[in-house]
A and B are shown apart, each in its own frame.
Chain A
Amino acid sequence: MTDTLLRVRHLRTYFWTLDGIVKAVDGVNMDIGTGRTLGVVGESGCGKSITALSIMRLIERPGKIVEGSVDLDRTDLLKLSESEMREIRGNAISMIFQEPMTSLNPVFTTGNQIAEAIRLHADIGAREAEDRAVEMLRKVGIPDPERRARQYPHEMSGGMRQRVMIAMALSTYPQLLIADEPTTALDVTIQAQILELMKELREERRMSIMLITHDLGVIAEMADDVVVMYSGKVVETGDVFTIFERPHHPYTQGLLGSLPRIGQRRGRLRVIEGVVPNPLNLPKGCLFARRCPCVMPICEQTPPPFQEVHPGQVSRCWLTPAGTTPAVGMTAPADVAEAEAARMTITADSGRQSATAAQMGEVGR
């Protein structure tokens, strides 16, 4: 295993709404290795984007990071001051967003917007920054970059704008690129081009990528490691081959099962029955229990702990590592799971104090 660039631990981001507290991210752990691509998958509303925005500390009211740590090269980002965090944003960690059509400011030229990102983090003149912006546009495959740099976003297509976003994000040579559904809004051919571009730049820079998507095809294409999220929690992690070949969690299996396959006509696509639980009224046991085809009595009662079902593959499910129903009356979980469950209980109890600590890190926002 390579060294870890970003280590997220017990991250909790809650939103205080009029109807109650929404635990959008509820105890998420994930690691991103240097030069590796982590794919984060899950349905809409499972907390993928909020995890990414929490890492960037871009959560706005009524949301708040209440607990956890986000270590980038052993520095906990959640403990930095706002001005120290600004040095990280767009510099060590850059982000690109789902909607290229609305993510660029309509009243500034693209060159201007890229140059602004460069000048924020490098002590160079305006002319030099503009030249570098043009260079970046050339790098991301925009023809006639000098002319394009003088154009406004509305003069470009969606794919073009996403290239501009990538150029902007990469203009400061970040260690980590967070790409939040970078190809969802684009048509398939443009999608392939953008993914190819990201791959090239990743190889060239030895950059890490956190790739958020609900498209398993994109994951298969791009990711080294995969995190599957459901209802604000990680339900399964592992390297991409393991996840695709031996998915353990019934939700992951359901996601993979609902993929159409070229050359196979099965009539109807398989779907995961039901909907994501209401975040204001989460079930007591496993959050997936109501939709799970393998649901057992224990699932309704107690949330399952993490268990290592295979070296490097961790799943939050009561099924045995082999995927079978455990013996009836089983109460003592496996060693790994026990330790995990114990830890989860402790963090839940100490939630209040930690929340205060997290808030102190938030002072100045």
Chain B
Amino acid sequence: MVTYLFRRLIQAIPILFGISLVAFAIINLAPGSPVDRFQTGRVSHQTIQNLIHLYGLDQPLPVQYVKWITTFVQFWRVDAWGFSFVDGLPVTQKIFARVPSTLELMGTALAVTILFAIPIGILAAVRQYSWADKIITTFATIGYAMPSFWLGLLLLFVFAVELNWFPLFGKYTFGQEGQPLNLIWHLVLPVSSLAIQQIAGWSRYMRSSMLEVMHQDYIRTARAKGLPNSGVIYRHALRNALIPIITLLGLTIPSLLAGAAITETIFSWPGLGYLLVSSVNTRDYPVVLALTMMGGFMVIAGNLLADVLYAVVDPRITY
């Protein structure tokens, strides 16, 4: 297992290099430049040229890339990921200040997803073609079809603007920072907008996985033993049905991060997603690149986590 993990981490290195090349190329191909926001007519041409020189943007792209990547890999240094073009703070510091907020949002969304989607999927599978199954299917289709930015705005409009049940933005009410209940109150809407779509997708996977397992020979064996239905479902079927769901977990972790970019922006949640969107808007290259690399790392880590969990739940898999 340890050698396997080590090998997988080594394999991640070339992948991350590939990601860095693509990310660097795309950000430089994209229209706009970090100094665009100074082109207001009130900043002199010379000042802008000085800024371009200061950021190193006047050098050829390959040189820029090599300079960036050689310092970037020294991630243990505070200044390794460069300094933000916007406020001059070290990128590492900017990013890690926001990690807890995103983890709170993502973690809650993921927990809510699992908590709802798995029982819903089981119910739909066990009562296949029943009314419950049909209702679940209908809602899952609706939930899956709603884009999260639209759902987020809708939730915000209905529950924050019109009904005034939940706050409009942010993580805490001013003056109540650090209070758990206040945090939960602020979490409800963004978590809902992230989780509803995930629940819709997950419950479908859970249903089909469960249905497949329910038709296996060993389920018939379990029934022939005289096990009650609950024992057959929760002991014999569920454990097997969860194995493919683990893949989904590995895929969902990075996609929640992407979803968080939109959701955090809509709800002004001070997390990584919000930072990413604002950095893209200001063409804050070092921040955008660092966040893209983190996203790439999350995809690799999510897949690795899924593979490790396979070995934990399925005795047939060993590394």
Which A residues form the contact surface with B (CB < 8 A)? 56, 58, 83, 86-91, 94-95, 97, 99, 102-108, 116-117, 120-121, 152, 154, 165, 168
**Chain B residues near A120 (CB, 8 Å)?**
225-227
**Chain A residues near B218 (CB, 8 Å)?**
102-106
- Asked whether A106 lies within 8 Å of B217 as measured between CB atoms, the reply is no
Give the dominant DSSP class at B's interface: helix
- Asked whether A106 lies within 8 Å of B314 as measured between CB atoms, the reply is yes
A-B contact pairs, 22 of them (CB 8 A): A56-B224, A86-B226, A86-B228, A90-B224, A90-B225, A90-B227, A99-B217, A102-B218, A104-B221, A105-B218, A106-B218, A106-B314, A106-B315, A107-B239, A116-B227, A117-B225, A120-B226, A120-B227, A152-B316, A154-B315, A168-B221, A168-B225
**Chain B residues near A168 (CB, 8 Å)?**
221, 225
On chain B, which size bracket covers the interface?
Answer: 10 to 19
- Asked whether B316 lies within 8 Å of A97 as measured between CB atoms, the reply is no
How long is the Cα–Cα vector from A292 to B102 in the complex, in angstroms? 76
Per-residue contact bits, chain B 210-247, to A (CB 8 Å; 1 contact, 0 not): 00000011101111111110000000100110000000
The 8 closest A-B pairs by CB, nearest first: A90-B226, A90-B225, A89-B226, A102-B217, A105-B218, A152-B315, A95-B224, A103-B217
B89 at the interface (CB under 8 A from A): no
How long is the Cα–Cα vector from A355 to B24 in the complex, in angstroms? 73
Whether A116 touches B316, Cβ cut-off 8 Å, given contacts A97-B217, A103-B217, A103-B218, is no
- Asked whether A121 lies within 8 Å of B313 as measured between CB atoms, the reply is no
Residue among B222, B225, B240 with max Cβ neighbours from chain A (10 Å): B225
**Chain B residues near A105 (CB, 8 Å)?**
218, 221-222, 236, 240
A11 CB to nearest B CB, Å: 18
How long is the Cα–Cα vector from A58 to B220 in the complex, in angstroms? 8
How long is the Cα–Cα vector from A103 to B223 in the complex, in angstroms? 11
Which B residues form the contact surface with A (CB < 8 A)? 216-218, 220-228, 236, 239-240, 313-316
Residue among B217, B236, B239 with max Cβ neighbours from chain A (10 Å): B217
**Chain A residues near B220 (CB, 8 Å)?**
58, 97, 103
Q: Which residue of A lies closest to B239 (CB)?
A: A107
How long is the Cα–Cα vector from A70 to B222 in the complex, in angstroms? 22
Known pairs A58-B220, A89-B224, A105-B240 / 13 extra A-B pairs, C-beta < 8 Å: A58-B223, A87-B226, A88-B226, A89-B223, A90-B224, A106-B218, A107-B240, A107-B315, A108-B236, A116-B225, A117-B226, A120-B226, A154-B316
- A102 partner, pick from B216, B222, B239, B315, beta carbons under 8 A: B216
Q: Which residue of A lies closest to B225 (CB)?
A: A90
**Chain A residues near B315 (CB, 8 Å)?**
106-107, 152, 154
**Chain A residues near B316 (CB, 8 Å)?**
106, 152, 154
B93 CB to nearest A CB, Å: 46
A84 CB to nearest B CB, Å: 11
How long is the Cα–Cα vector from A79 to B109 in the complex, in angstroms? 49
B113 CB to nearest A CB, Å: 23
**Chain B residues near A121 (CB, 8 Å)?**
226
- Asked whether A107 lies within 8 Å of B227 as measured between CB atoms, the reply is no
**Chain A residues near B222 (CB, 8 Å)?**
105
- Asked whether A103 lies within 8 Å of B226 as measured between CB atoms, the reply is no
How long is the Cα–Cα vector from A94 to B217 in the complex, in angstroms? 15
How long is the Cα–Cα vector from A229 to B17 in the complex, in angstroms? 68
A80 CB to nearest B CB, Å: 12
B237 CB to nearest A CB, Å: 9
- Asked whether B314 lies within 8 Å of A107 as measured between CB atoms, the reply is yes
Residue among B221, B224, B316 with max Cβ neighbours from chain A (10 Å): B224
**Chain A residues near B223 (CB, 8 Å)?**
58, 89
Q: Which residue of A lies closest to B227 (CB)?
A: A120
How long is the Cα–Cα vector from A90 to B316 in the complex, in angstroms? 27
**Chain B residues near A89 (CB, 8 Å)?**
223-226
- Asked whether B226 lies within 8 Å of A106 as measured between CB atoms, the reply is no
**Chain B residues near A83 (CB, 8 Å)?**
228
**Chain B residues near A106 (CB, 8 Å)?**
218, 240, 314-316
How long is the Cα–Cα vector from A120 to B227 in the complex, in angstroms? 7
**Chain B residues near A117 (CB, 8 Å)?**
225-226
B192 CB to nearest A CB, Å: 34
Q: Which residue of A lies closest to B316 (CB)?
A: A154
A304 CB to nearest B CB, Å: 35
**Chain A residues near B217 (CB, 8 Å)?**
97, 99, 102-103
**Chain B residues near A97 (CB, 8 Å)?**
217, 220-221, 224
How long is the Cα–Cα vector from A86 to B313 in the complex, in angstroms? 29
How long is the Cα–Cα vector from A95 to B222 in the complex, in angstroms? 10
Residue among B218, B222, B226 with max Cβ neighbours from chain A (10 Å): B226
Whether A103 touches B221, Cβ cut-off 8 Å, given contacts A91-B226, A152-B316, is yes
How long is the Cα–Cα vector from A87 to B222 in the complex, in angstroms? 13
- Asked whether A58 lies within 8 Å of B221 as measured between CB atoms, the reply is no
How long is the Cα–Cα vector from A204 to B268 in the complex, in angstroms? 76
How long is the Cα–Cα vector from A102 to B315 in the complex, in angstroms? 15
**Chain A residues near B216 (CB, 8 Å)?**
102
B311 CB to nearest A CB, Å: 12
**Chain B residues near A88 (CB, 8 Å)?**
226
How long is the Cα–Cα vector from A128 to B214 in the complex, in angstroms? 30
How long is the Cα–Cα vector from A148 to B239 in the complex, in angstroms? 22
